[in-house]
Structure 1
Amino acid sequence: MSHYESVLPIWSAIQSRFFKTASQLPQEDLTLKIGPASIGYMLQHNAEVEYMFTEWYFRKPMPEHIKLATSGGPGSKKSDFSDLNALLQMLGDSNEHLRGAMCELPEEEWTVPVESPMGGPATTPLEAVGRLMYHTGIHAGQISLIQKNARVNQS
């Protein structure tokens, strides 16, 4: 079994759960936040990170129309992340972009360390997928926490 065939079912399970959660968010929850990052920001950020990792670790360039709005951190730019349909489109597109790059990556390159603009030790594409899974899980938890606590604080 190839690395791609091993990783894809796990990646798909995590992504489909995250996408389902995002698609069921009430529109008004996108602006909820604790601190500077809103739920909408986190959805945008998650998609952008998938695009960046695809470019860095899988060597598939980011589509030219993609403009990174969250790379400076929450509050660094005044952007509006309150259009659920646009955010869902971005999440779906970034997932398809990454899945395509994973499928195209030659088997022998999955375990070759790659330097990235993020710095730190070089990371293999296989490790990068693990980091993306972790990243998605963290933001799923943060979204749930914000939904619980921000509503209480706004009351």
Structure 2
Amino acid sequence: MTFTSVLPVWQAVQTRFHKMVKALPEEDLNLKLGNSTIGGLIQHNAEVEFMFAESFFGRPNPQSDKAAYSTLNELVDLLTVSNENLTAAMQELPEEAWHVSVESAFGTSTPLEAIGRLMYHTGIHAGQISLIKKNAVRSEV
């Protein structure tokens, strides 16, 4: 029952984040505040989803490269793959394993807690992207 309970909430967060990313103009990917670019935050979000799928759900990362994704289409595709990978990992997890603590490089969490952390993580980066869009100065070339 955990997968069927968690999935609608996970999809709501992902749908909103993916919609925001898809609506970005390509030129906004390089907008930057401090050390963070919009494109970098999007790539980071997908990479963390891959790492959590592996660490908390035992699903190996299908992205073996550490490529830099530079276009909006590449980043949207990366987000899609990371979401599909994590969703499949959640679906494959036996019901009894959802509440068993797992030790990882990210600390100890149950898979259910890990999904909550990922939702929070996505929300933080959505807010950072909005902040960067609002405050970053475009350089005139």
Which category of TM-score, normalised to the shorter sequence, fits these structures?
Answer: over 0.9
Equivalent of 1:67 in 65, 70, 73: 65
Q: What is the CA–CA distance in structure 1 between the aligned matches of 2:139 and 2:113, rounded to whole Å?
A: 40
Query: What letter corresponds to residue 118 of structure 2 in structure 1?
Result: L
Unmatched tracts of structure 2, length 5 or more: none
TM-fit CA distance, 1:89: 0.3
Which residue pairs with 2:14 in the alignment? Answer: 15
Q: What is the CA–CA distance in structure 2 between the aligned matches of 1:22 and 1:67, rounded to whole Å?
A: 22
Which residue pairs with 1:97 in the alignment? Answer: 85
Which residue pairs with 2:103 in the alignment? Answer: 115
Question: Is the partner of 2:102 in helix, strand or coil?
Answer: coil
Question: Is the partner of 1:14 in helix, strand or coil?
Answer: helix
Deviations 1:94-124 (A, max 9, x none): 0000000000000000000001022x3x100
TM-score (normalised: structure 1): 0.86
Q: What is the CA–CA distance in structure 1 between the aligned matches of 2:120 and 2:127, rounded to whole Å?
A: 11
Query: What letter corresponds to residue 100 of structure 1 in structure 2?
Result: A
CA contact (8 A) 1:48 1:68 kept: no
TM-fit CA distance, 1:154: 4.7
TM-fit CA distance, 1:37: 1.2
Equivalent of 2:72 in 53, 68, 84: 84
How much identity, in percent, do the aligned residues show?
58
Deviations 1:43-92 (A, max 9, x none): 000000000000000001111x43246xxxxxxxxx5x431100000000
Equivalent of 2:114 in 122, 128, 133: 128
Unmatched tracts of structure 1, length 5 or more: 70-78
TM-score (normalised: structure 2): 0.94
CA contact (8 A) 1:27 1:82 kept: no
Query: What letter corresponds to residue 48 of structure 2 in structure 1?
Result: V
Question: Is the partner of 1:141 in helix, strand or coil?
Answer: helix
CA contact (8 A) 1:14 1:133 kept: yes
Task: Answer 1 or 2: which has greater strand percent.
Answer: 2
Give 4+ residue runs of structure 1 displaced > 6 Å after superposition.
Answer: none
Q: What is the CA–CA distance in structure 2 between the aligned matches of 1:30 and 1:90, rounded to whole Å?
A: 14
Query: What letter corresponds to residue 116 of structure 1 in structure 2?
Result: S
Which residue pairs with 1:25 in the alignment? Answer: 24
